[in-house]
Structure 1
Amino acid sequence: MTPTIDGAALLDEVEAFHRRFNIFPSEAAYVAVALWDAHAHLLDCFDSTPRIAFLSPEPGSGKTRALEIVETLVPQPMTAVNASAAALFRSVSSGNGKPTILFDEIDTVFGPKAGDNEELRGFLNAGHRRTGVTYRCIGDGGQQTVQAFPSYCAVAVAGLGSLPDTILSRSVIIRMRRRARNEKVEPFRARIHEAEGHKLRDRLAQWAEQARGFVMGAWPDMPDGVADRPADVWEPLLAIADAAGGDWPDRARAACVNLVTASKANDKGSLGVRLLTDLRDHVLIGVDKLPTIAILDRLNALDDAPWADLDGKPLDNRRLARLLGEYMTADLTPIKSRNIRTAGGVLKGFHAEDLADAWARYCPPPPQDSATPATPLQPSSEPLTV
C-alpha cells in the first residue's frame, strides 16, 4: 500500500526547489508557482485552468529559468517556442494525456512586431476552460468536415512586455526582475537537477491521486474582493492549497490578494479604460468639471501615458469625444461634452458627474495617494449663454 503523502510538506519542498534557482519578485509569487505546478497534475478536477505568465520589461530577468524549473515538475511538459496553433491543438487532442505547454518568448507571438496570431490566441483562450474546443475543417476539397479538437490544457508562458488582455485576464502574472547584485541563486545544471525535479514531479502525481476526491467539485472560499475572472483564475490554486493543508490555505489566500491587487494596479485595460482612469486619477481631481482644452493639456503632459503620441499625433478634442462617447452616464446616455462657464467665457468640457458611473464600472481601484489636484476654475459672474 502506498504511504500517505503530506501535501503541505510536499508543497514546501516544491517551493524550496524553485527558491534554489529562481528569484521571484515576492513571497506571493513562490506560493502561486508551487500551487500552479501541483494543479497541472489535477486538471480534470477543475472547470478551468489558469495560465501562469512570467513577464518582464527587459531580457535577463529569469523568465526562461522559471520555465525550466516548472518543466521538471509538471506532467508531460511540451516546450513550444514558435509552435503553430495546429501543432498545439493536435498535441492536446491526441488522446495520449494532456501536455503542459511551456511557451517561451511569447512576445514573438503577441508582441508589437509579431504578425497575425489570432489562431494561436484563440487556442490559448479556448483552452482555459475544460469545455474549450478548437474547430477545424479536415479532409480534402469537397470532402471536408468540421471537427472539434479539445483545447483544455495547462499553459505557462514567458516573455517581454505584456500579453493580450484576453490572456492576461486568465493568468497568474509574475512580473520578473533582473537579479540584484546581492541576490544569489544556485546554478541550474540539467544533468544534475532535472532528476531532482522529476522525483518531486512523481510525488506530486502520487499526491494528486490521493487529493483527487478532495479537490473534485471543491468550492474554495475566496478572499474578500476577489470575484469574477480573478476568482476563476485562483479557484483551482486555492482548492489545491486547501487539500494540502498546513499553512498553505492561509498563504494561498494572502498570495491571491497580493497578486490580484498587483495585476489590477498594472492593468490599464483598453485605451478607453486608460483614458477614464487617467481622467479620474490625474486630471479631474478636486474639480467637478474642466474644459476640453484644459483636459487635453493635462492628459498630453502626463508622463508614461500614450496621449501625447497616438499614431504620431497628440490626443485632440475629436478623439477625446469619440473615446468617451463609447461609455454611458448613469442616465444611460453617451458621455459627451457640455457647456462650462469660465472667467473667459463659455467653453465645452466634461463634468465629473457624467464620468462617475463609468469610473465605478470600468476602472481599477483608485490609488491611495492622489495626484496634485487640478486647479479649480475661476467662477464667472456673467450669466451662462449657449
Structure 2
Amino acid sequence: MTPITLPIYDDLEAIKAAAKQITQTLVKHGGKPVGLYVYRDAQGQALYARYRVDTSDSKQIRPFIPIGGDWAKVEMKEPPKPSQGKPLYGLHLLALYPAHPVYIVEGEKCADSLQRLGLLAITSGGATSAKDADWQALNGRDVIIWADNDPAGQQYAAEVAACLAGLAATIKTIDVAALNLPAKGDCVDWLSAFEQTHGRKPCADDLRALALLPAQNNLPEINPISTESAPTLLTKPQTDDEAIAWLSSLKPMEYDRIRKEQAKALGVQVSTLDDLVKTARNEESESERLPFARVEPHPEPVNPAELLNEVSHLIRRFIVLEPVQADAAALWVAFTWFVDVVAVAPLAIINAPEKACGKSQLLDLMGRLSAKPLPASNSTAAGLFRAVELWEPTVLIDEADTFIRENDELKGLINAGHTRANAFVLRVVGDNHEPKLFKVWGAKALAGIALEKHLPDATMSRAIIFELRRKLPHESVTRLRHAEGGLFDGVAAKLARFAEDYAQQVRQARPTLPDELGDRAQDNWEPLLAIAGCAGTEWLQRATVAALTLSGAGDKTVSTGNELLADIQEIFENKRLAKISTADLIKALTDDDEKSWATYNRGKSITARQIATRLNGYGIKSKTVRIGYGTAKGFELDQFTDAFTRYLGPPLNLPSQGNNSCKPNTEEGLDVTDGNNVTVTQSEKVTCKPNTDGGCDVVTDKNGGAGGENIEVEL
C-alpha cells in the first residue's frame, strides 16, 4: 500500500500564529508546545484547532475557532457540536485516500505520529470522545484500532468498535498486550521503544506486521497493569462486588493511583467508587465523613470566558448586584477552585448597612459554587482550626458582626490564612499543653452588617468587599430556594474542570496589577486577575475594572490612623495654618459632627493622649510651638509632610512654610504698625519688632518705645 502524503494548506501559517498568540503566557512561563491539531472537513476546510502545551505537571489543551472565518482573530472555544456528531481528526485524509486501511488511535498526538510514517490515522479525540463523534465517513472502510494500555484505552477501543459495528467493512485491534508497553502506554511510546531497540525509526511495514485481533465491542474487563507503583489488578472479576472487594483491600495510596481508571472501567463516577470502597473497608471514621459533596470535573473541556459569564449571570439572577460586583464574585468563586496554586487567598467580605440586603443569600450562593464549602457560623475556634487543617475547605461565616467581633482566636485564623507562606497559627493542645502549628490556608467568606465597625482594619484590608443594598420595589430576582435541581452542581463541575485544565497557567501567571491599587489590594486581586487572564482580554479588562471599583481610590476601609491623618490635613488646608496647638486641633476635629472624633473616647471627645498615640505610629510627636504671645504643646505642618505624602498622597492646598510668620522690623522705627488697634489680617504693613529684652514667650513689647502708642496686635 502506497504511503500517504500529508497535504499542505495555505491557512496553516495563520493558524500557527494564532496558536502562539493564545498560549504565549503559558509558554513564557515554561510550557512546552507539543502539537497543533487542525480539524478539517472532508474538503480540507479548517473548522477549528486545538493547541497542546505541556507543563511540568499537566498538559494544557487550548481549542480555538476563527472569528468570521479569519484566523487572525480567534476565540478560545470549540464550535457547537453538530447534530450528527463531532468531526473526526483526519477527516480530510479519508477523502484523499479512500482505499487505505484506517488506523484509529486515542488522541491527536498519536494520529500525527502514525501519519508521519505514511499511515492513514485518525481519532475522535480523548478517551471519552467516541460516542460524540460522527463516524459515517468510515462506511465500508477497513479499520484497525490501536488502544492505549490502560482500562480507559480499552474502553475507548470498545466504544469505537461499537460505533462502527455494521458500518465499517472490517474492524480489528492491535494486540496491545503483546507490545510490552508501560501502563498507559500508547503508539508513541511503542515507536520510541522500537527505535531504541532496533537503532532505527520504524516504517509503515513494521506497523503492518503487528499482531491483530478481532475487535470486541463489549466494555473491557479490568486487565493487569504492571507498574512499580500500582498493584496487580483483578484480572476477571465475576461481579461488581468482587471488584470492589479487591479494590478495598489496597492500601490508600495504591487505590488513589488507580481509582479514576477503575471507575471508568466499571462505568461509574469516581465519587461513587470511592463511597463503595470506603463502605467495604468499614473505615468511615467521623473525620472521613466530609461535610461537603465531592465534585467530579466536567467530562469535556470548558471555555473559561463562557464559564465566567455563566457564573456572573447566575449570581445576578438571584442577587441584586451591580455587574462589576457580580464579575468580582464570579472570579472569587473560581479562585476557590485554584486555591492550591495561588500564593494569596483574599477574603470575600459581604457587607450591608442593614438587614434584608441579601448578604446571607449571596454567601449561600457563593458557597454552592465554591470548592469544598463549609458553613461555619457559630463554630468554635478549636473546631475550625482542625477543620481547616484537615479538609482545606472554603469557610463560610454568616453574621460575622456578632460571631467574630469579640473572638480573637478566629480573627487570628482568618488573618493568618491570607498568604500561603504565613498560613500557620501556633496553639497549645491537649492536657500537656503541647504546642501545635495549625495550617489555616484556604478561602474564606464572611457576611455581616456594618463589618467595617466590627472587624479590625487588618481583616478588612485582606478582603474583596461586596457592599450590598436593599433591593428596590422594581428590582426582581429569583428566590434561591426556587432554583432548578442540579443547577449549581453542573456549574461547580465546570469550575472543577476549569481548575484542572488551567491550574498550571494560573500558577505561573504574573498579571499586570493596576498602579491605582495599594500594595495589599494588589495582593488580593493578583490571583483573580490571573484567573481572568485565562478567559481572554475581555475578562481581564472586566477584572481590572472590578478591582479599581471595589478596591481602588474609593475604598472605604481606611484605618483609624489614616482617617486621623486625613482630617488633620484638611484642617491645615482649610485654616491655612503652619502650626496648631493640640487643644485647637482637638476642637477642630470635634467641631465636625459627621466625623467620629467627638465621640471617639467612648462617647466623649478624643483626648490629647489618644491623638499622640495615633500619630506616634507615623513618627509624629507633639512639641512646644509658639502660638500668639505664648507657647503650647502642638504640631507644626512640616512634621506631617512625610506622612501626608506616604499615606494620603501629596497635600493639595497647604500653606507654604513661613507665610504667617513675623519678620523683624529693621527699617520702620519701633512701631509695630502705622495704625492703632489693628488686626494682623487687616493690614499688609503689620510687622513685629525684634524682642531684645523680653522672655522667649514674648512676641513684642506692648508698650512701644520712642513715644509709641499702646498697640494691640490680634493674632
Whether 1:16 aligns to 2:313 is: yes
Contact persistence 1:27–1:255 (CA under 8 A) = no
Which residue identity lines up with residue 206 of structure 1 in the other structure? Answer: R
Whether 1:39 aligns to 2:335 is: yes
Contact persistence 1:106–1:158 (CA under 8 A) = yes
What runs of 5+ residues in structure 1 fail to find an aligned partner?
A: 329-333
2:622 maps to 336
Residue 326 of structure 1 deviates from its aligned partner by 4.1
Whether 1:105 aligns to 2:399 is: yes
Contact persistence 2:377–2:403 (CA under 8 A) = no
Which residue identity lines up with residue 356 of structure 2 in the other structure? Answer: G
C-alpha distance 366-81 of structure 1, shift in aligned 2 (>3 A) = farther
Which one scores higher on RCO, CA 8 angstroms, separation ≥ 6?
1
Distance (whole Å) between structure 2 residues aligned to residue 213 and residue 36 of structure 1: 18
Residue 345 of structure 1 deviates from its aligned partner by 5.7
Residue 349 of structure 1 deviates from its aligned partner by 3.7
Whether 1:294 aligns to 2:584 is: yes
Contact persistence 2:581–2:627 (CA under 8 A) = no
Which residue identity lines up with residue 106 of structure 1 in the other structure? Answer: A
Distance (whole Å) between structure 1 residues aligned to residue 515 and residue 604 of structure 2: 42
1:72 maps to 368
Indicate the larger mover: 223-232 or 101-110: 223-232
Distance (whole Å) between structure 2 residues aligned to residue 99 and residue 367 of structure 1: 45
C-alpha distance 140-339 of structure 1, shift in aligned 2 (>3 A) = closer
Deviations 1:115-162 (A, max 9, x none): 3x1111111112222241233333433xx5333222111101100112
Residue 18 of structure 1 deviates from its aligned partner by 0.3
C-alpha distance 227-339 of structure 1, shift in aligned 2 (>3 A) = closer
Which residue identity lines up with residue 80 of structure 1 in the other structure? Answer: A
C-alpha distance 110-303 of structure 1, shift in aligned 2 (>3 A) = farther
1:174 to 466, 475, 482: 466
Contact persistence 2:572–2:578 (CA under 8 A) = no
2:522 maps to 231
Deviations 1:63-89 (A, max 9, x none): 001011101101221111111121112
Whether 1:153 aligns to 2:419 is: no
Whether 1:256 aligns to 2:550 is: no
Contact persistence 2:301–2:497 (CA under 8 A) = no
Which residue identity lines up with residue 32 of structure 1 in the other structure? Answer: A
Whether 1:358 aligns to 2:643 is: yes
Distance (whole Å) between structure 2 residues aligned to residue 253 and residue 322 of structure 1: 37
C-alpha distance 293-138 of structure 1, shift in aligned 2 (>3 A) = closer
C-alpha distance 291-92 of structure 1, shift in aligned 2 (>3 A) = closer
Deviations 1:281-302 (A, max 9, x none): 3454333333434322221111
Residue 91 of structure 1 deviates from its aligned partner by 1.2
Residue 217 of structure 1 deviates from its aligned partner by 2.5
C-alpha distance 318-93 of structure 1, shift in aligned 2 (>3 A) = closer
C-alpha distance 44-293 of structure 1, shift in aligned 2 (>3 A) = same
Identity of aligned residues (%): 33
C-alpha distance 67-222 of structure 1, shift in aligned 2 (>3 A) = same
Distance (whole Å) between structure 2 residues aligned to residue 367 and residue 338 of structure 1: 24
Distance (whole Å) between structure 2 residues aligned to residue 316 and residue 237 of structure 1: 43
Tell me how many residue pairs correspond in the alignment: 362
1:281 maps to 570
C-alpha distance 91-269 of structure 1, shift in aligned 2 (>3 A) = same
Distance (whole Å) between structure 2 residues aligned to residue 360 and residue 306 of structure 1: 23
Contact persistence 1:46–1:216 (CA under 8 A) = yes
1:307 maps to 597
Distance (whole Å) between structure 2 residues aligned to residue 322 and residue 269 of structure 1: 14
Residue 3 of structure 1 deviates from its aligned partner by 3.2
C-alpha distance 160-60 of structure 1, shift in aligned 2 (>3 A) = same
C-alpha distance 58-20 of structure 1, shift in aligned 2 (>3 A) = same
Contact persistence 1:338–1:351 (CA under 8 A) = no
SS across alignment from 2:466: strand
Residue 105 of structure 1 deviates from its aligned partner by 0.3
Which residue identity lines up with residue 559 of structure 2 in the other structure? Answer: G
Q: TM-score, normalised by structure 2?
A: 0.48
Distance (whole Å) between structure 2 residues aligned to residue 100 and residue 258 of structure 1: 25
Deviations 1:140-195 (A, max 9, x none): 33xx53332221111011001122112111100111111122322122215x3462
Contact persistence 1:54–1:174 (CA under 8 A) = yes
Distance (whole Å) between structure 1 residues aligned to residue 613 and residue 399 of structure 2: 36
Distance (whole Å) between structure 1 residues aligned to residue 410 and residue 607 of structure 2: 36
SS across alignment from 1:93: helix
C-alpha distance 203-296 of structure 1, shift in aligned 2 (>3 A) = same
Residue 34 of structure 1 deviates from its aligned partner by 0.3
Contact persistence 1:326–1:335 (CA under 8 A) = no
2:611 maps to 320
Deviations 1:20-44 (A, max 9, x none): 01112x3321111000000101111
Contact persistence 1:104–1:159 (CA under 8 A) = yes
Contact persistence 1:284–1:352 (CA under 8 A) = no
Distance (whole Å) between structure 1 residues aligned to residue 499 and residue 457 of structure 2: 31
SS across alignment from 1:134: strand
Indicate the larger mover: 297-306 or 376-385: 376-385
C-alpha distance 64-311 of structure 1, shift in aligned 2 (>3 A) = same
Structure of higher CA gyration radius: 2
Residue 318 of structure 1 deviates from its aligned partner by 4.6
Contact persistence 1:124–1:167 (CA under 8 A) = yes
What runs of 5+ residues in structure 2 fail to find an aligned partner?
A: 1-125, 127-298, 661-679, 698-715
Distance (whole Å) between structure 1 residues aligned to residue 399 and residue 596 of structure 2: 25
1:187 maps to 479
Residue 362 of structure 1 deviates from its aligned partner by 3.0
Map residues 139-150 of structure 1 onto 2, 5 A cutoff: 139-141=430-432, 144-150=433-439
Distance (whole Å) between structure 1 residues aligned to residue 469 and residue 562 of structure 2: 27
C-alpha distance 251-275 of structure 1, shift in aligned 2 (>3 A) = same
